[in-house]
Amino acid sequence: MNIVISTALLVLFPVLGYGAGKLIKAGKKMDRTLSILLDGLIYLLIFTMGIRLGSDKLLMGNIPVLGLRAAVITLFTCTGSVAAATAAAKIFERVQAKHDRHSDSAGGRDRSGQTDGI
Amino acid sequence: MIGILIALAAGIALGKLTGFDFGSSGSNVVYWLLYVMLFIVGMALARRKNAFRELGSKWIQALIMPFVTAIGSIAGATVAGMLLGMQLWQAAAVGSGQGWYTLSAVVLSQYDPLLGAVAFMSNIIREVLALLLIPVLATRISPWAGISIAGATAMDVTMPVISRYGGTQYSPIAFIGGVICSALVPVCILAIVWLAGV
């Protein structure tokens, strides 16, 4: 499939789903159904991916030769990205907390200022 | 996670035993399955009140995180390269694939066919590992950890899993993260190759 079309569809489908979700008026039962459906489809997607990997003779044949090297690089790549993102998220949290405290105390000063004025 | 692992193992076993070849329509089958899932993610997002408001200032974080993810990935791959005794630029270039195995393999095989094969395998493993670990990372550490391990795949294959385990409100952020990571893949690979003077 053309990469432009497939990318456009990747944007289109959640947008269509969002529209449908807004239009359909349903209760909590609907949320539960969507959750179960998504769970089932996640397993189906992973199962399908497994079939694709298992039937790929080139990939399976190269596992003994290149697999260890690829696996080690992946392990470190994943660890590096998760560690960096977790550290960055912590920094963002601290900055946000500082900002919130600052705006709270500023709000407090404003309020006290108003009280003094009254 | 056990369920996901069983589904993957059963799929691999079936594929290996039967040799069932999806052919070129294989990716279409996976893609259409993905489109249905993304439709459901969109529906779930619409049904969550104030989903976008809940994110608040996280949008800025969403734009910065893909760069942090790319830096972390490349740094991790470089350490792996040192341990494996590989040329560091090669390991770094493989790591900057961020799960986009087709692109990274095609680009790197121009420099070394074997490196292209390693990039293909490494990035396919990253996608599978992301699918397996997102439920754990997103619930035990933070949804950001789930999005970061997904890399470029956060915009498609792993987005429904991030949405399911990290929270529906994180699906637009995962998509943005995946798009930026995808855009960074060719840029990072070519920058590394250029810096290495290959």
Q: Can you tell me the ipTM of this complex? A: 0.84
Closest C-alpha among A32, A95, A112, A84 to residue B47: A32
Nearest to B72 among A16, A66, A80 (CB): A80
DSSP state of B110: T
Q: Is B196 helix (H, G, I), strand (E, B) or coil?
A: helix
Q: How near does any CA of chain A get to the CA of B52, in Å?
A: 12
Mean per-residue pLDDT pooled into runs of 10, chain A (118 residues):
71 88 79 84 82 79 82 96 95 86 67 42
Contact list in A for residue B126 (CB cut-off 8 A) is 74, 77-78
Torsion angle defined by CA atoms of residues B115, B186, B101 and B171, in that order, rounded to the nearest 10 degrees:
150
pLDDT per residue as tens digits for the range B32-61: 887 888 888 888 878 777 666 666 677 888
pLDDT per residue as tens digits for the range B1-40: 677 778 888 988 988 888 776 655 556 777 788 788 888 8
